[in-house]
């Protein structure tokens, strides 16, 4: 899934359930405190994605360290690394890259089924809504509304580390290529500066398999996507 749409420089670890790490077994005390009062399912997914993230970091030479969430909930990575996590029913993933070559990376996975009623209207811009109608009519087999939601999540996951600011669903317009399995997010607000250039958008890739849709954006330091 995720590994198929990211460059080889990004270390990727995935799991399709929580059996790779039992609750509390592989958490640092500081992490355990974060989810101490959470329901069991939240503890399990929190534990699994951190187990996966530490395994990915180890592949890049970083010994295990606590991976605590920021006030916004985004994982805080050790110095010299950037990364992203995602979890949904039946899938967990963590990706990590060295910050020397990667400015930001964002991933998201969702079940490949339509969004609940009313959600699309709350996240889609007029252009995106018209694209949904076209995609659903011409390219059956993928829940395009769910893919749009996933793409917007991946956009936020690269935006926030680069800017430290929130980004509303209405502040990035997504165009999906159903044949090339890519997408582009046009920023409707001033973009971040990466490698001396102000980015006006992010380009990403998507994949659908095993009842899931996944999106990923990788932003190298040297050039805009």
pLDDT for res 71:
84
Q: Which residues in the chain land under pLDDT 70?
A: 21-25, 223-225
3-state secondary structure 171-188: HEEEEEECCCCEEEEEEC
pLDDT at residue 34, rounded to an integer: 94
pLDDT at 224: 38
**Separation between Cα atoms, residue 51 and residue 57, nearest integer Å:** 10
25-72 pLDDT per residue, tens: 679 999 999 999 999 999 999 999 999 999 999 999 999 999 999 888
On whether the CB atoms of residues 221 and 196 are closer than 8 A, the answer is: no
pTM metric for this prediction: 0.93
Dump the DSSP string for 185-198: EEESSPPPEETTEE
Distance CA 71, CA 69 (A): 7
Residue 225, pLDDT score: 41
Query: What does the pLDDT look like over 110-128, one tens digit per residue?
Result: 999 999 999 999 999 999 9
Give CA–CA dist 19/51, Å, rounded: 11
How much is the pLDDT for 48?
93
């Amino acid at each position: 899934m995720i590994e198929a749409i990211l460059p080889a420089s990004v270390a990727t670890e995935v799991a399709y359930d929580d059996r790779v790490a039992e609750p509390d077994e592989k958490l640092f005390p500081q992490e355990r405190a974060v989810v101490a009062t959470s329901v069991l399912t939240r503890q399990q997914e929190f534990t699994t994605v951190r187990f996966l993230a530490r395994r990915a970091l180890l592949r890049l030479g970083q010994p295990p360290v606590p991976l605590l969430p920021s006030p916004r909930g985004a994982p805080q990575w050790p110095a010299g690394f950037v990364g992203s996590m995602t979890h949904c029913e039946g899938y967990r993933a963590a990706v990590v890259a060295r910050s020397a070559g990667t400015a930001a990376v964002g991933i998201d996975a969702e079940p490949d089924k339509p969004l609940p009623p009313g959600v699309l209207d709350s996240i889609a811009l007029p252009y995106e809504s018209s694209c949904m109608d076209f995609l659903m009519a011409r390219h059956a087999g993928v829940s395009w509304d769910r893919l749009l939601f996933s793409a917007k999540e991946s956009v936020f996951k690269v935006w926030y580390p680069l800017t430290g600011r929130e980004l509303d669903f209405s502040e990035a317009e997504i165009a999906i290529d159903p044949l090339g399995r890519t997408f582009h997010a046009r920023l409707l607000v001033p973009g971040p500066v990466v490698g001396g250039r102000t980015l006006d958008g992010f380009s990403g890739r998507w994949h659908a398999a095993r009842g899931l849709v996944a999106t990923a954006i990788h932003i190298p330091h040297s050039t805009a996507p």
